[in-house]
A and B are shown apart, each in its own frame.
Chain A
Amino acid sequence: MAIVEVDFRSVLPWNAKPPSVAIAEVVEINDEGREHVVESNMVLNLSRGTPRRVPVWTGEFLVRLSTPSGQLLTRRVRIDRAGEEALIELSPVRRKVEESLRTSSSKLVIKEDAPSELAPVARAPSAASAGRDAPRPEWTAKRVPEAGPRASLAFLPGLEVEKVVQEQQNFLGIARLQASSDRDSPLLQLVSKDLSSALVGDIEAFQASRIRNRGGEMQARWKKPLRNDSIAGKEATEGKGSRFFALSYQDAGSFTPLQVACVPGRWRTAEGELAELLVTYRNIGHQSAARIGIQLEIDDPELAGLIEFLQQGDLHGSTLTLSQALDVLYEKRRNPYAAAAAGYVLIQASSKIVQGPRWPQWILNLATRYPGLPDGAILFATMLLQTSAMPGRDYELSGNWMSPFASARGAVLEAVRRGPPLFRFGLGLMAANLAILEGEDTASADDEELQSAIRYVRSLSLRVDPSQPFSVFDVEA
């Protein structure tokens, strides 16, 4: 029995986090040195640890594994069981639990990477749990009083910051924000308003999050956007009501907001469990110009791979991983956020495997039923402007001709009105759609509403962190 270990750490770029998925291929090499693909396009879910088995006969084989960010690992395997069928088993080692998995002939163990280290500026003290001793009220969700000063990214009324940050953690903190999805401000005002309003709208409630030291990194994690359901609302309203954000800040004497990230509310996995959202302080940017920033991850083994391929701009990998999670795609009521991620692949994929027969209608429903999720509107606008989908033939507006989605212009501007998208990928599509509208209208230079929308999206693009799948904006002055 041969055992081959593959360790992704050997090929990952500096500061890269280990992949959640890999695409595997098994190739047979015959006696003349010719290659024959035995199995290809196998999606290996590394975090779930589900093995994949490939039946083979005696011979020489290559096992190729490619990661979402383009690294490739190849291992040569010899199967020597004369006259008998054998199996090559690709057995990812699950996170946290490194275990040997059995194969009948060969084993490929895929080890998980250890988390990368933070630069000294942000290194957490050993074993310290931030704020463990802080009084409980500091960690509860707080509504912003209607009377009194307005909340903003730079001012969260009632938050006693000095009680939730620690010197050992460089006075860094993370707060969860809940904001109204009802952005009734005219589009014209979006740019002229302050940055806080433009990014998150009206903050209704917030909650300081404990930062803990996990494997050398400072991390906050939660399953519910705010712990208090009476404030966060029922789960059935996900994507319909409020929007949620994570705010990173530092307070070494004065409160300084650093970044604000668009985050999903409650994220249901395929098993019906609530997935954890992980917000981690990490070195971001390039090695020579690294700075501290927050990175977002969703602990959903089924969809983490899709999000990684989306971030890497890889259509083939995205489509393969999506085809393994089609139930998520068409059960959007369960998780509209995951549906939006899937939609970004769906709209570009030509594969009928992932495109259901009424996928344009499905995109329209995502846009109309979830006003708190700009991504649905972005997808629908993109569908109108960059695909051949037609009303009547591919989707029905159900007689609602006053809907903003009755026209491409209305859909594009509605997407902008809803604010920054959950997924950074949506920003580029917003800009492309606006450019199309601008190009089609000879008088677009005088179209104040359109020009405001263009400036707004451009301002978001200049602040967004391009290395992340979720929209994370710099807000530091």
Chain B
Amino acid sequence: MALIFDARNPNEPGVHAILIGVGSYPYMRPNHPLGQFAPEAGLEDLESPLHSVEAFAAWLRTDLDIPGTPLRSLRVLGSSPTRTSTFPVGVTTFANIQREVRAWFDDVDTNAGNLAVFYFIGHGLAAGAKQALLAEDFGSDRHAPFDLSLDPDQFASAVRKAKAQRQLFLIDACSREVPLGHDYEAVNPRPIIQAEKHANLPLVKQSFLRASAFGTRAFGRRNGPSLFMEAFLKAMRGGAAVNVGGGRWVVQTDMLRTVLSRLIEQSPDGQGQEVSFGGINLSSILHFHQLPGEPLVPVEVTCNPEDFQRLADLHIDAALHCSAGTWPLNVEVAKGEHDFSAIEPLTAVVHGSAPKEYIHPPFGVVSIPCGETS
């Protein structure tokens, strides 16, 4: 059972979300039988997919706020090599993914005011401009391996026929290149939603975000969500928000792309991961989530020279924020003017300060001149 939240009402608009986190790949051990269709060393199991779908599901249930478009259905499928979920998540075999995605599509297709949310995290392979997202049982059929995978670009193109005029696709998977170029017969992921004639190309606003550009990898953590999901949830607090007037701040998907790339790039584990638009069609700007108040903005604060971060505490607006040697990659502050100082803990010597820095979405960069540079 993957439907963990059910407030469906086909007569009323709402958010219909499906989150798929594939962490177990029992058929993709080294010496797998797929030959050139997969990396020779196989594909390792992943812990972060289950963490990611759990974190996203929790946020959708408690924090998502789209005026006039409440959460109406939430389906979660997840697997992990090390644990079971606290949610009653569905299994991540291809057949189950197909069944749940079709049920999700039927919900999405009920009302033009709906917002469809599709999130996939797991392994992906790519050749040329084709990406295949791998289900848990990928590798179990060596005769037609790509039958057990999903082509996200074609999938999003097919979903465009649905009534929902807002559609958000988040693909948090590697697209590691495999030399498939010469075997076009085999690389043929099975369509989950059948494409049909429609008139929605200029009508449906679809935004398709890839956690990593083609040919690159997307990274996760062993005991937590992926870098993409971690950054996504942080961006929902304000980094990806724009002022839409009337004191309202709303997350916008073009800003989301910008801030996600920035936050992931800051992480030592995320080097080379670049969030990009994808899909067969051009991505529209979608308004996704309204903030409860003013945005919290991620700020990269450093000393110049950086050595002072080991000597000094970070103070923000005259309050201690963190101790010497523990400066985080970024801090979050409310939009507006702030004072940043580097102060030695025992002597209270102020090594440097950056007063009245105006911090605003999507992110801030503050360099505190210290020592001779101050």
Contact A285 B215 (CB under 8 A): yes
Check B33 for interface membership: any CB of A closer than 8 A.
no
Contact bitstring B127-162, A, C-beta under 8 A = 1, else 0: 111100000000000000000000001100110100
Q: Which of B158, B257, B281 contacts A435 (CB 8 A)?
A: B158
A438 CA to B203 CA in the complex, in Å? 23
Distance (Å) between the CB of A414 and the closest chain B CB? 17
> Most chain-B Cβ atoms within 10 A of its Cβ — which of A287, A349, A408, A432?
A432
> Could you say which residues of chain B place their CB within 8 Å of the CB of A388?
199
B260-290 residues with Cβ-Cβ distance < 8 A to A are 261, 272, 274-285
Q: A35-B360, A347-B201 are in contact. Are A313 and B283 (CB under 8 A)?
A: yes
Contact A458 B180 (CB under 8 A): no
Contact B195 A464 (CB under 8 A): no
Check A66 for interface membership: any CB of B closer than 8 A.
yes
Contact A314 B202 (CB under 8 A): no
A165-181 residues with Cβ-Cβ distance < 8 A to B are none
Q: A313-B277, A387-B199 are in contact. Are A435 and B358 (CB under 8 A)?
A: no
Q: A33-B335, A289-B177 are in contact. Are A428 and B215 (CB under 8 A)?
A: no
A288 CA to B202 CA in the complex, in Å? 38
Q: Which of B195, B215, B258, B358 contacts A76 (CB 8 A)?
A: B358
> Could you say which residues of chain A place their CB within 8 Å of the CB of B129?
424, 427-428, 461-462, 464, 466
Contact B215 A289 (CB under 8 A): yes
Contact A462 B184 (CB under 8 A): yes
Contact A439 B196 (CB under 8 A): yes
> Could you say which residues of chain B place their CB within 8 Å of the CB of A386?
160, 197-201
Contact B201 A431 (CB under 8 A): no
Check B194 for interface membership: any CB of A closer than 8 A.
yes
Distance (Å) between the CB of A61 and the closest chain B CB? 11
Check B254 for interface membership: any CB of A closer than 8 A.
yes
Check A145 for interface membership: any CB of B closer than 8 A.
no
A435, closest chain B residue (CB): B195
Contact bitstring B170-201, A, C-beta under 8 A = 1, else 0: 00000001001100110110010011111111
Check B337 for interface membership: any CB of A closer than 8 A.
yes
Check B214 for interface membership: any CB of A closer than 8 A.
yes
Q: Which of B157, B158, B254 contacts A316 (CB 8 A)?
A: B254
Q: Which of A14, A316, A382 contacts B284 (CB 8 A)?
A: A316
Q: Which of A34, A314, A465 contacts B277 (CB 8 A)?
A: A314
Q: A313-B283, A431-B154 are in contact. Are A72 and B272 (CB under 8 A)?
A: no
Q: A289-B177, A350-B203, A387-B202 are in contact. Are A461 and B128 (CB under 8 A)?
A: yes
Contact A440 B362 (CB under 8 A): no
A92-133 residues with Cβ-Cβ distance < 8 A to B are none
> Could you say which residues of chain A place their CB within 8 Å of the CB of B196?
436, 439-440
> Could you say which residues of chain B place their CB within 8 Å of the CB of A413?
none
Contact B194 A439 (CB under 8 A): yes
Distance (Å) between the CB of B137 and the closest chain A CB? 23
Contact A348 B258 (CB under 8 A): no
A312 CA to B258 CA in the complex, in Å? 13
A474 CA to B182 CA in the complex, in Å? 10
Distance (Å) between the CB of B164 and the closest chain A CB? 16
Q: A33-B335, A313-B279, A313-B282 are in contact. Are A70 and B261 (CB under 8 A)?
A: yes
Check A74 for interface membership: any CB of B closer than 8 A.
yes
Check A467 for interface membership: any CB of B closer than 8 A.
yes
> Could you say which residues of chain B place their CB within 8 Å of the CB of A315?
281-285
A307-341 residues with Cβ-Cβ distance < 8 A to B are 310, 312-316, 318
Contact B194 A462 (CB under 8 A): no
Contact A286 B130 (CB under 8 A): no
Check B88 for interface membership: any CB of A closer than 8 A.
no
Q: A29-B358, A348-B201, A467-B214 are in contact. Are A458 and B188 (CB under 8 A)?
A: yes
B contact residues, range: 35 or more
Contact B199 A310 (CB under 8 A): no
A429 CA to B274 CA in the complex, in Å? 24
Contact A387 B280 (CB under 8 A): no
Check B96 for interface membership: any CB of A closer than 8 A.
no
> Could you say which residues of chain B place their CB within 8 Å of the CB of A464?
128-129
A251 CA to B355 CA in the complex, in Å? 61
Check A62 for interface membership: any CB of B closer than 8 A.
yes
Q: A458-B187, A462-B130, A464-B128 are in contact. Are A314 and B282 (CB under 8 A)?
A: yes
A439 CA to B161 CA in the complex, in Å? 13
A425 CA to B351 CA in the complex, in Å? 53
Q: A33-B336, A427-B129 are in contact. Are A462 and B180 (CB under 8 A)?
A: yes
Contact B276 A14 (CB under 8 A): no
> Could you say which residues of chain B place their CB within 8 Å of the CB of A81?
none
Check A235 for interface membership: any CB of B closer than 8 A.
no
> Could you say which residues of chain B place their CB within 8 Å of the CB of A431?
154, 280
A388 CA to B214 CA in the complex, in Å? 32
> Could you say which residues of chain B place their CB within 8 Å of the CB of A458?
130, 184, 187-188
A72 CA to B256 CA in the complex, in Å? 11
Check A366 for interface membership: any CB of B closer than 8 A.
no
Contact A70 B128 (CB under 8 A): no
Check A276 for interface membership: any CB of B closer than 8 A.
no
Check A193 for interface membership: any CB of B closer than 8 A.
no
B126, closest chain A residue (CB): A466
Check A345 for interface membership: any CB of B closer than 8 A.
yes
A6-37 residues with Cβ-Cβ distance < 8 A to B are 13-14, 29, 33-35, 37
A314 CA to B209 CA in the complex, in Å? 11
Q: Which of A76, A286, A438 contacts B216 (CB 8 A)?
A: A286
B231-245 residues with Cβ-Cβ distance < 8 A to A are 243
Distance (Å) between the CB of A258 and the closest chain B CB? 13
Distance (Å) between the CB of B204 and the closest chain A CB? 10
Contact B158 A70 (CB under 8 A): no
Check A71 for interface membership: any CB of B closer than 8 A.
yes
Contact A459 B184 (CB under 8 A): yes
Closest 3 CB pairs of A and B: A313-B277, A428-B280, A315-B282
What are 7 A-B contacts with C-beta separation under 8 Å?
Answer: A313-B281, A314-B283, A348-B201, A382-B201, A387-B202, A461-B128, A466-B129
Having A435-B157, A440-B196, one finds 17 other A-B pairs with CB under 8 Å, namely: A33-B335, A62-B360, A66-B258, A70-B258, A312-B276, A312-B277, A313-B279, A313-B283, A348-B281, A386-B197, A387-B202, A432-B154, A458-B188, A459-B184, A464-B128, A466-B126, A467-B213
